[in-house]
Amino acid sequence: MSDKRGKLPRYWPILYVVYRLRRVDNSFDLQKYIYLAKMEGNVPVEYVFTDDYCGPRCASIKQDAISLGARGYLKVSFEDRWVFEITEAGARHAEGVMDSLPGDVRDAFDRILEEYSTLPVVKLRDYITDGSRFRYKGAKPRSEYEELKKQIISEINLLLHDFSRMESNGNILFLLGSLDYCMLVLKRENVTELSQKGNLIALINGYVNKVMLLRELAGDNHELMGGICLNDYKEDFELIQSASEEYKVLPALYEEGIDLSVFVEE
């Protein structure tokens, strides 16, 4: 339990969110709720957020959530995305933490969760990255997006060439499939709303940069590529699919019965 006379642990907002919602279905949402509580609700959150292609991100939140899982306060699993659920021990600990919070802090946090926890993941990201809010920049000119798309497609082609020459394994197949999907989205994308276009391209650009770094670190070590945990990559790719579907570019691969071959240009 937290000591009412002492300082609250840094991780208390994580427990608060998962206790209130009982289950959070990806680390993206968990971080964004805490970010909004800090920025809009003036909740005293210690975590520091940095700009990222998924909007504000704080890797320490996911790391602390996983640590809370190891301590038995959360049930942590991965189902194409990180999933966090409160445990009985976590609920007792969260209630002790909440007893130490001023009423106005609890009210502000609850308002944030009530207002934003029902938003689909893409709409939540759109809201946070809108140019009129906080410190995030607005949309670029359309011509800049088109140039960026050409650059990303070129980088994807290089990655596809490299990965296709490696010995096949589950990770390689995932990377090849996800990159193919991203390139198809970029080729078919014709979103008229610039803020949405920017969000979609930023998600893909960030993902491709992340895969490029992985490729550089792994070199030609096929065995290493097969043993790397790609859970974070899979969660990022899930966000890309959600955005593509939300913006009516391509359906998500996780939808049953999807045949993307009908979208491929001859």
Domain hosting 218: range is: 142-263
Q: Based on the domain organization, do 169 and 238 belong to the same domain?
A: yes
Q: Based on the domain organization, do 105 and 195 belong to the same domain?
A: no
One digit per residue, the tens of pLDDT, for the chain of length 266 reads 333 435 789 999 999 999 999 999 988 899 999 999 999 999 999 998 877 777 788 888 988 999 999 999 999 998 778 999 999 999 999 999 999 999 999 999 999 999 999 988 888 887 887 644 444 445 567 778 888 899 899 999 999 998 988 888 899 999 999 999 999 999 999 988 888 888 899 899 989 989 998 888 877 677 778 888 899 999 999 999 999 999 999 999 865 555 545 444 44
Q: Based on the domain organization, do 125 and 40 belong to the same domain?
A: yes
Which of these, 158, 160, 162, 155, lies nearest to 218 by C-alpha position?
162
Residue 232 lies in a domain: yes
Q: Based on the domain organization, do 151 and 38 belong to the same domain?
A: no
Residue 137 lies in a domain: no
Question: Sheet of 23-24: strands edge to edge?
Answer: 23-24, 82-86, 74-78
Residue 161 lies in a domain: yes
Instruction: Give the contacts of 128 (CB within 8 A, at least 6 positions apart).
Output: 32, 35, 36, 55, 56, 134, 136
Residue 33 lies in a domain: yes
Q: Based on the domain organization, do 41 and 151 belong to the same domain?
A: no
Q: Are 231 and 78 in contact (CB under 8 A)?
A: yes
Q: Looking at this protein, which amino acid is placed at residue 80?
A: D
> CA torsion 27→195→201→217, rounded to 10°?
-50
Domain boundary (129, 160, 189) is at 129
3-state secondary structure of 160: helix
Number of domains in the chain: 2
Using alpha carbons, list the distances in angstroms from residue 24 to 35, 36, 104, 119, 182.
15, 15, 24, 13, 26
CA distance 73 to 50: 27
